[in-house]
Amino acid sequence: MIRVGVIGACGRMGLMVCRALADSEDFALVAAVDRSKVGQNVGQMIGNPELDVPVSDELERLLEAKAVVAIDFTHPDVVMDDVRWCISHAVHVVVGTTGITQEELQEIEKLLSDEAHESNVIVAPNFALGAVLMQRFSALAARYLPAVEIIELHHDQKADAPSGTAIATVSRIRQERGEDWQGPGGESLQGARGGEVDGIRIHSVRLPGLVAHHEVIFGGQGQTLTIRHDSTDRSSFMPGVLMAARAVMTRPGLTVGLEPLLDLPPLP
């Protein structure tokens, strides 16, 4: 039984993670950390009143509850503070909060080294397994169709734009495509062509009613190829979250993304 605490437990994703942990036979939800609803029982919030886990606003609650793994779904402004605390206290951590930069990933690696790798970290911009496959298929397509743009669509409460998944998809495409392609940049209205990350345009849409959607559009002579993934419900992320929580204790150091956990064959 893996003892787990959830940081950001009272948010939409946090509550769903708590419910998934409580429903799983190989996890024990032992701590819930959040700045809101302090003292309330998270079991009541997820429809499991027999589960007695009061919400605390102190990370020390993870140690008091003997949590081995922490799962963080908080906010880009505070997530690194949580990661630093977990590493310094030898708690493995799975990070689902988006917006972590390359510089912050490098900091995590250094922190793990400074603490003699007593804990491990998995950072995933997207826990939907279909989104991981979308990125992989896009990397393969980029070898043959270097002209590409990305449209990502999310709910209107998402804190960052572009999405971490879109940025990670750009990175995969850049690794695989044989040549660069630069689309036209002329705009009669500033921002109409979206933002540019490493030479690839990303267009971010934020609307109520959306969850998480990514569309990678490749263009070639007389043809287009569209690779799209849609999360229509946040439950799509739960299998990936639980997979990461199971794996983090045995994957030394920092792991970025879920693809290393899927045991996929290398790209041809």
Q: Is 92 a catalytic residue?
A: no
User: Hey, is 125 helix, strand or coil?
Assistant: coil
For the chain, give the number of residues: 268
The burial of 210, by beta-carbon neighbours within 10 Å (0-12 exposed, 13-18 middle, 19 or more buried), is given as middle
- The single residue of 154, 203, 213, 229 carrying the catalytic annotation is 154
- Structure token pair of residue 95: 């990070």
CA distances from 102 to 93, 123, 167, 199, 256 (A): 18, 11, 10, 17, 11
> Which residue shows structure tokens 């490749």?
218
Q: Could you give the strand order of the β-sheet that contains 27-33, starting from the edge strand earlier in sequence?
A: 55-56, 27-33, 2-7, 69-72, 92-95, 121-123, 254-256
Q: What is the C-alpha separation between 129 and 65, in angstroms, rounded?
A: 30
Q: Compute φ and ψ for 261, nearest 5 degrees.
A: -85, -10
Question: Between β-strands 2-7 and 27-33, what pairing exists: parallel, antiparallel or unpaired?
Answer: parallel
Q: Is 37 a catalytic residue?
A: no
Q: What is the DSSP string of 55-76?
A: EES-THHHHHTT-SEEEE---T
- The single residue of 66, 117, 158, 203 carrying the catalytic annotation is 158
Residue 217 and residue 151 in contact, taking contact as beta carbons nearer than 8 Å? yes
The set of catalytic residues is 154, 158
